[in-house]
Amino acid sequence: MSDEDDLEDFEPDLDGLEREDDEKETEEWEDYRKEGEDSEEWMSTPLTEDVMKEGLSALCKTGNGLAHAYVKLEVKDRDLTDIHLLRSYIHLRYVDVSKNHLTDLSPLNYLTHLLWLKADGNRLRSARLNELPYLQIASFAYNQITDTEGISHPRLASLDLKGNHIHMVTGLDPQKLISLHTLELRGNQLNSTLGINLPKLKNLFLAQNLLKKVEGLENLSNLTTLHLRDNQIETLSGFSKEMKSLQYLNLRGNMVADLGELAKLQNLPKLRALVLLDNPCTDENDYRREALVQLAHLERLDKDFYEEEERAEADEIRQRVKEEAEPEPELELDQSSI
């Protein structure tokens, strides 16, 4: 069996993507990154053959089936500043170079069989690489990346860019990123949701940014999970009926003050779970009931599922409001009495 056949059968492990923000993980990485930024210039430490030998594993057949090569490399937390040596290891499929001091990943352009890449906690300013035809999972979390240019891998399914310095999403071409279904941008400096025009996307994580509203997501018809926790959102405009698959929406820790804004979510037919904790509107009387009156299909608000009694009460209120809004029939005059 060739390398290409093996790659065709590869199924990425993407369980647990519908998660709450992991604050402990964020704090640990922030401490690690601060330590790195506060340190003096790192001594040059290139990847060596000895370190390679320690990190290589998973012996597999090569493309012609007549030879074997190691396909997995783990060299995290080695103070590496240079991975030029990787250019010679063209059969690698799984590479972990996390927690080093790398500023350049260009040697990875030679790894055309690469399936899985983890480069978290380095000093990267860009995630740009040549198109890697088999790359399916890539993580560049907690670096110093400022943009999303140069990411065009056709089989990329999951892209993690959390904890960087990205202000605006640009260069993510839906014609090239035809397999991308999970995009993690938590903990950046985004001030807009424009540029995320990726119709195949299912999971989008935008927590801990500087967002004031939702815009430009109208074409995300396959999106099921949207995390917007800890932003500055005041209005719920921007949610379109074309977002017909959205089931889970996390708006915790924003600035939504008016429960009337929830009416703007009525055009989301599959919305079942909504998180609004730590918004001003949650202080209003009958907050849970009013949310269900506005959103009849909602099954869970914050951490609690709705009970049948709550649903019945909301139905009754909704019916009463509807009746009150209907105009009274005009009385017809009796012609015989004139």
Domain extents in the chain? 45-324
CA neighbours closer than 13 Å in the CB half-sphere of residue 26: 14
pLDDT for residue 25 is more than 90: no
Q: What number is the average pLDDT over the span 193-221?
A: 96
Q: What number is the average pLDDT over the span 173-191?
A: 97
CA neighbours closer than 13 Å in the CB half-sphere of residue 161: 29
Each residue's pLDDT tens digit, 52-103: 999 999 888 777 777 888 899 999 999 999 999 999 999 999 999 999 999 9
- CATH no. of 45-324: 3.80.10.10
What is the C-alpha separation between 82 and 102, in angstroms, rounded? 6
Q: What number is the average pLDDT over the span 183-209?
A: 97
- Closest-CA residue to 33 (of 91, 130, 85, 98): 98
- Comparing 286 with 202, the larger pLDDT belongs to 202
What is the C-alpha separation between 268 and 245, in angstroms, rounded? 8
Paired with 57 in beta bridges are 72
- Comparing 277 with 66, the larger pLDDT belongs to 277
Instruction: Return the H-helix or E-strand segment holding 71.
Output: strand 68-74
Give the range among 61-75, 190-204, 226-240, 242-256 with minimum mean pLDDT. Answer: 61-75
- Closest-CA residue to 136 (of 151, 117, 150): 117
pTM: 0.86
Compute how many other C-beta atoms are within 10 angstroms of the C-beta atom of residue 199: 13
pLDDT for residue 333 is more than 80: no
Please tell me the total number of residues recorded for the chain in this structure.
338
Q: What number is the average pLDDT over the span 272-296?
A: 95
